[in-house]
Each structure stands twice: as C-alpha cells, then as structure tokens.
Amino acid sequence: MSLAPIDLLKLTYRSLSGNPLRSVLTALGVFMGVTAVSATLQVGHISQAVIARRLATREAPHASLFPDWQPNRIRLQQDDITFLQQRLPGLQSISALNWARSTEVTFQDQTAPTSVVAVTQDFLFTTGNPVIAGRSFTAADYASYRPVVIIDELLAAQLFGNANPIGQRIYANQQPYVVVGVVQTKLRDDEEPSEGRLLITSAFHNALTGRRDVGSIRLRPYYLDDLEKIGEQAEELLMQRFPGQRFSQWNNVEDILEQRQVLKLTARSLAAVGAIALLVGGVGIANIMIASVTERTAEIGLRRAIGATRNEIMVQFILEATLLSLVGGILAIATVHGLTLAIAERFELPYEFDATSATIALGSALSVGVGASFAPALRASQIDPVKALRSE
C-alpha cells in the first residue's frame, strides 16, 4: 500500500520527534558546517565591500613611473608616452605630469597653499578625478596655451568658500589664471592631502619654462589585478629603451592591494575550515542515520510486511535528513546573520544580507544532508522484512 506524500511527511515528523536527541545531534552537525560556510561567505562579501569603500576614496588605481636621479639622467619626452602606449596590453589610459612647485595661490584677500601640477589632457581620466563643477581641459586650451586652471574642491573651499569659483581669476607666483573647473578631492595614497591642488596644462607650463620634458608618467590599467604588472612592464620597457638609466615605479593603492591579499588568504582559510566542518557534519549525519537504521530494523520490516515499498522506506530516511538539514541550515544562517550584523555595527563595516550567500549556504546544507543519508537510506530500503521481523 503506497503512502500519500502528506502521510509520508507525518510519518517522518513522528519519527523525528520520537527521538529528539538523535534529531538534535543530526541538526547540530549541519548547523556547525553551515555556520562555517556562511561565515566564510560573509567575510568574503564584507572584505570586498571594505576594499571597494577604500578604493572609492582614492584616485583611480594607477602606476607612476619616473627616472631615478643619477648623473646624466635622461628626461622623458612625449615620444616615450607614445612608445609605452603602443606596447602595453591592458593599458586603459596614460598621461604625464610635471610638478611645477608648491606655492601660495591668491584670490582677492584669500590665500591658500597649493601644489601646482602641469598635466597632459588625459590626466583627469587616468587618475580618476571627476569634474564636479565647470569643465575639463580642452584641446583648444592646449593648442592656444591658455592660462586656465582646474582646482580641487579643497582649494576651492579655502579660496571661495561657498561661492562659485568658475570664471574667477586667481594668482599663483604672480601669474594670473582663470578657473574653468573643479575636481573632487580624492586621496592620492593612504595619507590625507595637506593642501589643495592646482592643475595647469602642460602646454602652458612648457611655454612658461621653455622645457618640453615629462617629469613622470601615470598608467591606468583596465583591471585592478593588472596594476602591478603594468607598472613593472613599463619600467622594463623604458630600461630597454634607455640602457643604464634606472627607473622607479609605484602605485597609489599598494596598501589596499596588500590588505586585499590578506583578506583573500583569510577567506581561503575559512573556506577550508568550512569544508572540513561540512565534511565532519556529513560523517556525523551518516553515522547517526546508520544507527537509526539499525535501531529501526523491526519497524522497517513491519512496514515492508504491510505493503511499504523500498522507495518509500528510502525516501523517508532521506526526507528525515533533509528536514534536519533544512532546520540546521536556517538556524545557522540566522545566527551568522545576527552576529555579522552586530559586528558590522560595532566596527562600522559595510554589510547587508545577501540572499545569494544564504542560498549557497542552505544548498550546501541540503546537499550534505541528502548525500550523507543516501547510503543509510539505501541500506534501509534493502532490508529483508522476514529477516527483520525474525531478528526482533
């Protein structure tokens, strides 16, 4: 006589509630394994969010390259930028700059310290400095050697307060400039900027100084993972181009990359712990289910004798493990979520519940439960009813 699904569920529930200690131990094994898996996923997501938050405060990840000071030091030219641009795969943008000087800039009766930097046209894109007011430099600014400047919001606040700086005339080293744009102030590295920044065109700087060399080169890759490699490749290419000249290169997110590597290693270690915990939980489920089959041999024989099929016996045992895995998994996910939320609030970490992570964790719980119970369930379904009743 075949059982209806609802009757099979009722029978499974009575079996589980009839032996609460066995049920709790089985669910506990799943709980521990899923807790480790869920915690691993949460650490990974929080790590990514922390890295993304730190990157958002920085200029776009880019490498800087410049010749070392030495006798007969070479001076980079625009041709060298073109040389690198043609030979670096994965390069999104390249630009150059010259640090003109640190000086004071004046607007009416307001004075503020600033760094004057001469840049090529792609500089703002290469370094990821978004224009928040006015405009960027145009090709006409370079072609006509216009005395126009772009200032960052820190310098704008120091000179103009809440007033609109666009179109205003300021002075640096007694040279008048017209403000055409304001860019967001971003961290260049891991230190807060001590002064604002004033950008002029490299063309105007060359006209003022009579020099056309390039102080340093900025390289922005398409992908963050290529940042260190692209800096090293550029350094190697220039050393081949200029034998005997040494170069230095660094990137503006080196500390973040180091932190990301540490977090990756931590996540991998936790993943290994989670896998071991799931394996131990699965072994525990299998042992408990085997013991359950042995204890219930007579019950299985009686059910087979009155018409239960092998498939029903097998499904019941798998269903028991599935329900216990489901309960243990849900409790583990809820526990990890609560603890993570408390820790995130305490240490001001970015966190939000991720349904995908919860689904993966719950899926792992069900997979372990079903997988670990399959062999005992198969064994139960193959018990001979006559021998089972005779043994009783």
* Span 211-223, pLDDT tens digits: 889 999 999 999 9
Q: 296: Cβ–Cβ under 8 A, 6 or more apart, which residues?
A: 15, 380
Write the CA distances from 197 to 150, 184, 192, 215, integer angstroms: 8, 10, 13, 17
Residues 343, 230: one domain?
Answer: no
Q: How far is CA 345 from CA 37, 62, 164, 355, in A?
A: 22, 32, 38, 20
Q: What's the pLDDT score for residue 1?
A: 47
Share of the chain above pLDDT 90, in %: 53
Q: What is the mean pLDDT of the chain?
A: 89
Band (334; pLDDT cuts 50, 70, 90): very high
What's the whole-number mean pLDDT along residues 354-381?
89
Are 101 and 163 part of one and the same domain? Answer: yes
- Would you give the DSSP letter of residue 212? -
Alpha-carbon distance 61 to 332, whole Å? 38
Task: Calculate the dihedral angle through the C-alpha atoms of 184, 185, 189, 192, rounding to the nearest 10 degrees.
Answer: -160
**pLDDT value at position 58?**
92
The strand pairing partners of 171, in sequence order, are 106, 176
Q: Give the per-residue pLDDT at 288.
A: 83
Cα separation of 126 and 115, whole Å?
19
pLDDT (0 to 100) of residue 392: 57
Is residue 69 domain-shared with residue 23, that is, in the same domain?
no
Q: pLDDT tens across 117-127, in order? A: 999 999 999 99
340, 46 contact by CB (below 8 A): yes
Q: Bin 59: left if φ > 0, else alpha if -120 < ψ < 50, else beta.
A: beta
pLDDT number for residue 202: 95
Q: How confident is the model at residue 3 (pLDDT cuts 50, 70, 90)?
A: low
pLDDT of residue 287: 85
> Domain range spanning residue 35?
5-55+258-391
Do the beta carbons of residue 286 and residue 375 sit within 8 Å? yes
State the amino acid at position 367 in one-letter form: S
Q: Verify that 289 and 316 share a domain, yes or no.
A: yes
Q: Are residues 92 and 148 in the same domain?
A: yes
> Are 39 and 81 part of one and the same domain?
no
DSSP state of 117: E
pTM: 0.77
Cβ atoms within 10 Å, residue 285: 28
196-201 and 148-152 as β-strands: parallel, antiparallel, unpaired? antiparallel
More confident position, 296 or 334? 334
Considering the domain architecture, whether residues 354 and 334 belong to the same structural domain is answered as yes
| Residue-wise pLDDT tens digits, 151-208 | 999 999 999 999 999 999 999 989 999 999 999 998 877 777 778 999 999 999 999 9
Q: Does residue 263 sit in the same domain as residue 248?
A: no
**Partners of 107 in the β-ladder:** 110
Domain count for the chain: 2
pLDDT of residue 283: 86
Which of 113 and 305 is assigned the larger pLDDT?
A: 113
Other CB atoms within a 10 A radius of the CB of residue 199 amount to 24
Residues 232, 282 within the same domain: no
CB 81 within 8 A of CB 214: yes
Domain boundary among 215, 233, 252: 252
Is 46 in the same domain as 70? no
**Which of 3-12, 73-82, 253-262, 323-332 is the least confident region?**
3-12
Q: Are residues 384 and 268 in the same domain?
A: yes
- Quick one: 40 and 13 in the same domain? yes
Q: Of the candidates 252, 283, 314, which is a domain's last residue?
A: 252
pLDDT of residue 293: 86
Predicted pLDDT of residue 4: 67
Residue entry with tokens 């059910």 = 303
| Domain boundary residue, one of 189, 223, 252 | 252
User: What confidence tier does 28 reach under pLDDT thresholds 50, 70, 90?
Assistant: confident
pLDDT at 309 (0 to 100): 85
**Distance separating alpha carbons of residues 288 and 248, to the nearest angstrom:** 63
245-255 pLDDT, tens per residue?
A: 999 999 999 99
- Percent of the chain whose predicted confidence (pLDDT) is above 70: 97
